């Protein structure tokens, strides 16, 4: 099996894992497909902590083996996040966007909770090519979740869900009919789907070469050691890219826009 086939197989499994916690994405995928659209991914996003054992490097390792290469990096100072994106020479494969929480910048409380979670992960599973869909490796309780969320929604998300796709992103450039992001947004809203309006529904402009929108993460009933609670899970994103002076589509990300997109998993 070559790198592209391996990547497709892994991405397929990641999608299957993702729609388990975000059935709304499958619903949107089906709606678009029934409308005669070809739904292809622009990028897939993963979240982690910048701990030496499982930072971006660990999550990126299987993708690097498949031929992906580092293509950009981004800082989100307010959210205390750092991210890198990886691209494959085969343009049919989506980009992989991996962010990590900068632990040295968060409170001792988050540091301690995260250290305790990481301590429970078996070293072997980190090296497994399926680590990016391995989910959680520790028990969770709701009071800790709430306390984490008060300081960092991002930390609380990884605490509750572990390592799995945070979102998939539809490439609007590949759609045949809903080729304008505002039209796609209207269509989705007509179907009763709630969009993230933090910083406006559309983040970015044609001049910035990238426009993005996303659903608000759907709420799911999630099992904690102290009960079942409804929490925001994953969201679905939509990206339209514009051509650079070279005539090629811009393939990077806009930190200012991504900063707002992160808020799609904020609690209502
Ligand atoms: Ni994204």
Going from the Cα of 94 to the center of ligand 1, the distance in angstroms, rounded, reads: 11
Going from the Cα of 1 to the center of ligand 1, the distance in angstroms, rounded, reads: 28
How far is Cα 15 from Cα 25, in angstroms, rounded to an integer?
10
Beta bridge partners of 135: 163
227: three-class secondary structure by DSSP: strand
Whole-model pTM: value is 0.95
Going from the Cα of 77 to the center of ligand 1, the distance in angstroms, rounded, reads: 17
Residue 94's H or E segment, with its range, is none
Going from the Cα of 18 to the center of ligand 1, the distance in angstroms, rounded, reads: 14
Going from the Cα of 211 to the center of ligand 1, the distance in angstroms, rounded, reads: 11
Instruction: Per-residue pLDDT tens, the chain, 268 aa: give them.
Output: 799 999 999 999 999 999 999 999 999 999 999 999 999 999 999 999 999 889 999 999 999 999 999 999 999 998 999 999 999 999 999 999 999 999 999 999 999 999 999 999 999 999 999 999 999 999 999 999 999 999 999 999 999 999 999 999 999 999 999 999 999 999 999 999 999 998 899 999 999 999 999 999 989 999 999 999 999 999 999 999 999 999 999 999 988 878 888 888 887 6
Going from the Cα of 225 to the center of ligand 1, the distance in angstroms, rounded, reads: 31
Beta bridge partners of 87: 69
Residue 83's H or E segment, with its range, is strand 81-87
Going from the Cα of 98 to the center of ligand 1, the distance in angstroms, rounded, reads: 9
74: nearest Cα among 95, 51, 53: 95
149: nearest Cα among 96, 208, 217: 217
Going from the Cα of 258 to the center of ligand 1, the distance in angstroms, rounded, reads: 7
Going from the Cα of 52 to the center of ligand 1, the distance in angstroms, rounded, reads: 24
Output the pLDDT for position 186. Answer: 97
Output the pLDDT for position 268. Answer: 62
111: nearest Cα among 159, 170, 164: 159
Output the pLDDT for position 262. Answer: 82
Output the pLDDT for position 35. Answer: 93
Tokens of 172: 């609007």
Q: Are 56 and 86 in contact (CB under 8 A)?
A: no
Going from the Cα of 246 to the center of ligand 1, the distance in angstroms, rounded, reads: 24
How far is Cα 118 from Cα 123, in angstroms, rounded to an integer?
10
- Residue ranges of the domains in the chain? 3-265
Going from the Cα of 186 to the center of ligand 1, the distance in angstroms, rounded, reads: 20
Output the pLDDT for position 85. Answer: 97
Going from the Cα of 215 to the center of ligand 1, the distance in angstroms, rounded, reads: 11
CATH architecture of 3-265: Roll (3.10)
Going from the Cα of 142 to the center of ligand 1, the distance in angstroms, rounded, reads: 27
Output the pLDDT for position 264. Answer: 82
How far is Cα 13 from Cα 133, in angstroms, rounded to an integer?
8
Going from the Cα of 239 to the center of ligand 1, the distance in angstroms, rounded, reads: 8
Going from the Cα of 227 to the center of ligand 1, the distance in angstroms, rounded, reads: 31
């Amino acid at each position: 099996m070559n790198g592209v086939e391996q990547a497709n197989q892994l991405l397929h499994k990641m999608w299957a894992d993702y729609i388990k916690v975000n059935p709304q994405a499958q619903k949107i995928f089906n709606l678009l497909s029934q409308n005669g659209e070809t739904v292809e991914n622009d990028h897939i996003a993963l979240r982690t902590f910048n701990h030496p054992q499982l930072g971006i490097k660990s999550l990126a390792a299987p993708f690097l083996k498949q031929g992906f290469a580092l293509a950009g990096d981004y800082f989100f100072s307010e959210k205390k996040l750092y991210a890198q994106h990886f691209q494959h020479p085969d343009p049919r494969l989506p980009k992989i966007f991996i962010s990590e929480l900068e632990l040295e910048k968060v409170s001792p409380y988050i540091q301690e909770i995260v250290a305790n979670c990481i301590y429970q992960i078996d070293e072997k599973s980190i090296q497994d090519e399926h680590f990016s869909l391995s989910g959680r490796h520790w028990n969770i309780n709701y009071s800790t979740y709430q306390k984490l969320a008060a300081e960092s929604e991002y930390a609380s998300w990884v605490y509750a869900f572990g390592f799995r796709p945070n979102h998939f992103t539809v490439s609007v450039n590949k759609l045949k009919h809903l080729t304008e992001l505002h039209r796609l947004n209207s269509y989705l809203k007509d179907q009763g789907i709630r969009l993230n309006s933090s910083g406006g529904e559309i983040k970015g402009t044609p001049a910035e070469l990238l426009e993005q929108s996303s659903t608000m993460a759907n709420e799911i009933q999630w099992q904690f050691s102290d009960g079942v609670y409804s929490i925001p899970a994953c969201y679905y994103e939509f990206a339209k890219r514009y051509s650079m002076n070279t005539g090629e589509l811009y393939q990077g990300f806009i930190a200012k826009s991504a900063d707002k997109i992160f808020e799609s998993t904020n609690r209502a």
